[in-house]
Structure 1
Amino acid sequence: MEPKRCIDSLTVKNSHVLPPDTNSHGTLFGGKLMAYIDDVAAIAAVRHCRKPVVTASTDSVDFLQPVFEGDTICLEAFVTYTHNTSMEVFVKAITENLLTGDRKVCTTAFLSMVAVDENNEPTPVPPVYPESEEEKWLHDGAKRRHEHRKARRKESKELAEKFGTGLPWLPDEK
C-alpha cells in the first residue's frame, strides 16, 4: 500500500457550547467532549485508510482547561502512526471565548482505530509518514504508546476474565 502523509487525514470540527451540553458548573460535559473526540478520530482514520473503522481504545483523554457555556470548541485530529490494521489518532481540542478571542488547548487525546472489512474483520491499512516537526515528534513516541496499549489491553482482558459478568461479590450467573 502507498504510504500517506499525516496531514492527509486532518479533520477539524467546531461546535458552539450550548446549555444542554453543560453540567451544573456551566462547563462542557466530559462525556460530550469524549463523543466529539471519538467522532473526529473516526473521521481522520477513515480519511487515512478509506475503509470503515471501529474504536479499539482511548489511551488517554486529558482535560487541561474547562470549556464554558457560550465558548466554542475546535477539535483537530490526524493519524500519527499505523500498525498492520490499526491507526493511532491524535486529537487536540481548543476552547475559545468568542467575545474575547482567548483560546486555550483544553484537551488532548490518543485513540486507536482499527480498519474493518465487510465482515467486520480487521483489514490492513496504509503506512503513514510524518512531515512537520510536531508530526515527527508524535510519530517517534507512537511505538512506545503502542506497546503500552498492548500491555493495558492484556490487563483489561485479565480483569474481564477474573470478574466475569456477575457482580464481584457474587458468583457468575450462567
Structure 2
Amino acid sequence: MRFHTRKWIKPEDLNPNGTLFGGRLLEWIDEEAALYAIIQLENPKTVTKYISEIDFISSAKQGEIVEIGIEVVKFGTASLTLKCEVRNKMTRQTVIKVDKIIMVSLDNNGNPEPHGKHKVEFVKDRLNET
C-alpha cells in the first residue's frame, strides 16, 4: 500500500476522550480517496459512491502524525474501487482500515461516465509521454 498523505493531529481534531475524532479521520479518508481517484481517472467530477464497514483498530492522540494509504482494488467501467489504511507514522500501528471505497466518474450531467482506465498510472509517467 502506498501512503500518500500525512496529517498532524491537532486539538481541533480530538473527541471528548482526547483522541482523534472518527468523523475527522473519515473526512480525511474521503478527501484522500477522492483526490486519488480524480488523478487516476483524470476526471475532476469523481464522487464517492460507497464506503464499506470501517474497522477502528487503535486510537491516535494530539501531536501524533498519521499517514493515509490508498490502494486500488479494481477498475470498473465508470468506477474505481479502493481500500484504505491509516497508520501512526512513528509506530506504524494501524489506526483504521476500510476494505472498500467506490468512487464514480461522472459526466457533466452527473451521470456515471466510462473512464477507459484499466491500470494504475502515475502522473510522472503521463508527463513523460508528452
TM-score (norm 2): 0.82
Q: Which is bigger in relative contact order (C-alpha 8 A, separation at least 6)? A: 2
Pair 1:60 & 2:53 matched: yes
Task: Indicate if the aligned counterparts of 2:70 and 2:82 stay in contact, CA closer than 8 A.
Answer: yes
Task: Indicate if the aligned counterparts of 1:76 and 1:92 stay in contact, CA closer than 8 A.
Answer: yes
- Partner Cα separation in structure 1 for residue 22 and residue 52 of structure 2: 15
Task: Indicate if the aligned counterparts of 2:77 and 2:114 stay in contact, CA closer than 8 A.
Answer: yes
Pair 1:76 & 2:65 matched: no
Partner residue of 1:127?
Answer: 118
Pair 1:114 & 2:108 matched: no
Task: Indicate if the aligned counterparts of 1:44 and 1:89 stay in contact, CA closer than 8 A.
Answer: no
Percent of aligned pairs sharing the same letter: 25
Task: Indicate if the aligned counterparts of 2:78 and 2:112 stay in contact, CA closer than 8 A.
Answer: yes
Deviation at 1:62, TM superposition (A): 1.0
Partner residue of 2:37?
Answer: 45
1:15-45 deviations in whole A, cap 9, x for unaligned?
A: 1101111012111000000000101111111
TM-score (norm 1): 0.62
Task: Indicate if the aligned counterparts of 1:21 and 1:32 stay in contact, CA closer than 8 A.
Answer: yes
Structure with the higher fraction of residues in helix conformation: 1
1:86-135 deviations in whole A, cap 9, x for unaligned?
A: 11011110114xxxx42211111121000011221111121236xxxxxx
- Partner Cα separation in structure 1 for residue 25 and residue 47 of structure 2: 18
Query: Unaligned regions of 5+ residues in structure 2, if any?
Result: 121-130
Aligned residues: 117
Task: Indicate if the aligned counterparts of 1:45 and 1:78 stay in contact, CA closer than 8 A.
Answer: no
Structure whose CA Rg is larger? 1
Structure with the higher fraction of residues in strand conformation: 2
Partner residue of 1:169?
Answer: none
